[in-house]
Structure formats: C-alpha cells, structure tokens
Amino acid sequence: MTREQGTVIAAHGRHYLVQAGEHKVQCVTRGKKSDVATGDIVHWKRTSPDQGVIESIAERKTLLYRSDQYKSKLLAANVTQLFIVVATQPGFSDDLVSRALVAAEAGGIAAHIILNKVDIEELLAPTRQRLAMYANLGYPVHELSAKSMPEQAKELLQPLMQGQSSILIGQSGMGKSSLINLLVPDAELATREISAALNSGKHTTTFTRLFMTGNDTAIIDSPGFQEFGLYHLSEGMLERAFREFGPHLGHCKFYNCHHLTEPGCAVLGAVEAGEIAPLRHALYQQLVHESSQKLY
C-alpha cells in the first residue's frame, strides 16, 4: 500500500474527507485520535477504492481554535488569512468581531473585515462609524454588496484571496453564503457531495468546508456562530493579541502587570487617555477571566 498526500476538506466527528488530486477519499484516523482539522495536509493509506486511514499530519503553518471551559475545538489548519463578514443589516456583535481578531492575532493569521450589504444606504454611515474602531487598528475593511454588485465584489476579493488559504467567518444573516457562492461557483454542489460522503444528512453547514478554487488558492467556509470562546489563550498571549496594547507593554509600573486594576499601568493609562477603546479593554478583561476558568 502506498502512502499518499492530501488536504482535509471537511471534518465531521472522526470522519474526514481528504482531497487527493482529483479524488475525494473518506478517511478515518487510527484509534480515538481526532485532532485533524479542515485544511490539514495529511498522509493517508488507502483501505478501499474510496476510503483510507490518516497516518500523519504534516507540520501546520497555522492553527485556528475556539474553546470553552472544557475543551478546545480546532477550526482550521494552515489558514493564512481570516475574513470576518459583517453587514449593515442585521446588526453584528462587536464582541464576536473582536474575538475573531484576537484569535487571528494569536494564531499569526492576517485578519480582514468585509462589510457586506452596502446597498442598504441608510445604515451605511452608522455601520462605517462602528467599524472605524477596527480600521483605526489597521485591519482592512472591504466594502461590498454580494447581492446588488456581485461582479465588483468578486473583483475586489479575488485578488486578495489568490494564492492564499482564506477562512470566512460571520454571524448568521451577514451574507457569507452569498459571498462563498460568488467566489466558489460550484460551492453548493461541492457541499452536497461532502455531506453525502461524510454521511452528515441534513447538517450540511454545521461543519467547516474547504474549497480549492485554483492550484494554490483555498477558500474555507465555517458554520455561522454565536459564540467564540477563547479559553485556551494565556494572559501573555492575550496582551499581545490586542495590537493596540503593543506600544504600552513594558511601560507599566509592575513588570508582571495584568493590565486590570494595577496602579501605574500603561495600558489602563492609554484607556483613560482615549487611546485604547474601552470596549476592547473590557473584552481583554473578560478573556483574561475566561483564561483563568479553563479546566483542561
């Protein structure tokens, strides 16, 4: 039996779909191991014409996680950039946007924001205003309308995604599926194929799927989410994942400052001076709390 290489394009429980050249192979792992993520490059052995066993995972360039108090959950491996999709309508959660930005920073992944539905003009100005906080931190904000200006949306995004592995994440209703369908013409068909292969029945969009749109371009669709737990990030990782804290780190009175209530804290000073958004510092505080609650 030969050992072959492939890319994991979907994961469902302990079942994985591996794209190997033109073929899709249903794979399992040995034993109870289930630490394979969508986007992983794996070595596998064929056990039947369309089935195989994953033998090993190639070294990952990046790994994106979510976690709760009890365990962490792999979102995707080898992603080079993350696009957070928000819209003028329905409203989006700043908490989720910032959590996704923190996850990207902690994972060494570039982060972008897509503002969809700019055709809803009456809500454009207030939405831009809300997003200014992120734009001011240096995160690119791309404005488009998947529905009323699809060609322009494609022209804007395709060059950004060329040669990259991009994951799109967003709350329900932001238009993420519309964007995926624009960027991946046969996405719906591919999703049906993946669901059938993984035997996941109706739960077509409850797992993360990877689409290859060229030799070296991958677009990953993740299920809509309402929560983005980051219990796995340590305090040290957190203070570095808030990029606006950077210039102030090392300038606190206490070298082991937690930037929570300490006197002489440079980060708190910057919040006071209006240089750091209170909303972002409040999230940092919440994440430090979560980090202290983890049980694994």
Ligand X SMILES: Nc1nc2c(ncn2[C@@H]2O[C@H](COP(=O)(O)OP(=O)(O)OP(=O)(O)O)[C@@H](O)[C@H]2O)c(=O)[nH]1
| Residue 33 is labelled as binding a ligand | no
- How far apart are CB 38 and ligand X at their closest, in Å? 17
Judge whether 147 and 182 are in contact, CB under 8 Å: no
Q: How many residues bind ligand X (CB under 6 A)?
A: 17
* Token couple for 174: 């932001």
Q: Which does 269 bind (CB under 5 to 8 A by kind): Zn ion, ligand X, none?
A: none
The residues in 128-167 that bind ligand X, with binding defined as CB under 6 A, are 145-148
With a CB cutoff of 8 Å and minimum separation 6, the contacts of 34 are: 13, 14
Which of residues 148 and 162 has its CB atom nearest to ligand X in the complex? Answer: 148
CA nearest 266: which of 257, 287, 98, 240? 257
Q: Quick check: 93 binds ligand X (CB under 6 A)?
A: no
Per CB under 6 A, the list member of 120, 137, 212, 249 interacting with ligand X is: 120
Per CB under 6 A, the list member of 78, 177, 222, 291 interacting with ligand X is: 177
| Residue 133 is labelled as binding a ligand | no
* Token couple for 140: 């690119």
Q: Before 49, cis peptide (omega within 30)?
A: no
> How far is it, in rounded angstroms, from Cα 209 to Cα 227?
19
- How far apart are CB 183 and ligand X at their closest, in Å? 12
* Token couple for 101: 């930005």
Q: CA quadruple 174, 177, 181, 183: dihedral positive or negative?
A: positive
Q: Quick check: 178 binds ligand X (CB under 6 A)?
A: yes
Q: Quick check: 117 binds ligand X (CB under 6 A)?
A: yes
Judge whether 20 and 44 are in contact, CB under 8 Å: yes
With a CB cutoff of 8 Å and minimum separation 6, the contacts of 97 are: 84, 86, 113, 134
Q: Which does 280 bind (CB under 5 to 8 A by kind): Zn ion, ligand X, none?
A: none
| Residue 34 is labelled as binding a ligand | no
- How far apart are CB 174 and ligand X at their closest, in Å? 4
With a CB cutoff of 8 Å and minimum separation 6, the contacts of 183 are: 154, 157, 158, 161, 213, 219
| Residue 215 is labelled as binding a ligand | no
> How far is it, in rounded angstroms, from Cα 77 to Cα 74?
8
Q: Which does 194 bind (CB under 5 to 8 A by kind): ligand X, Zn ion, none?
A: none
**Beta-carbon neighbour count of residue 132 at 10 Å?**
11
Which of residues 223 and 269 has its CB atom nearest to ligand X in the complex? Answer: 223
- How far apart are CB 140 and ligand X at their closest, in Å? 19
CA nearest 171: which of 100, 66, 118, 121? 100
Per CB under 6 A, the list member of 5, 93, 152, 172 interacting with ligand X is: 172
| Residue 257 is labelled as binding a ligand | yes
Q: Which amino acid is at 174?
A: M
- How far apart are CB 211 and ligand X at their closest, in Å? 15
| Residue 246 is labelled as binding a ligand | no
- How far apart are CB 285 and Zn ion at their closest, in Å? 12
Q: Quick check: 76 binds ligand X (CB under 6 A)?
A: no
Binding residues vs ligand X (CB under 6 A): 116-117, 119-120, 145-148, 170, 172-178, 224
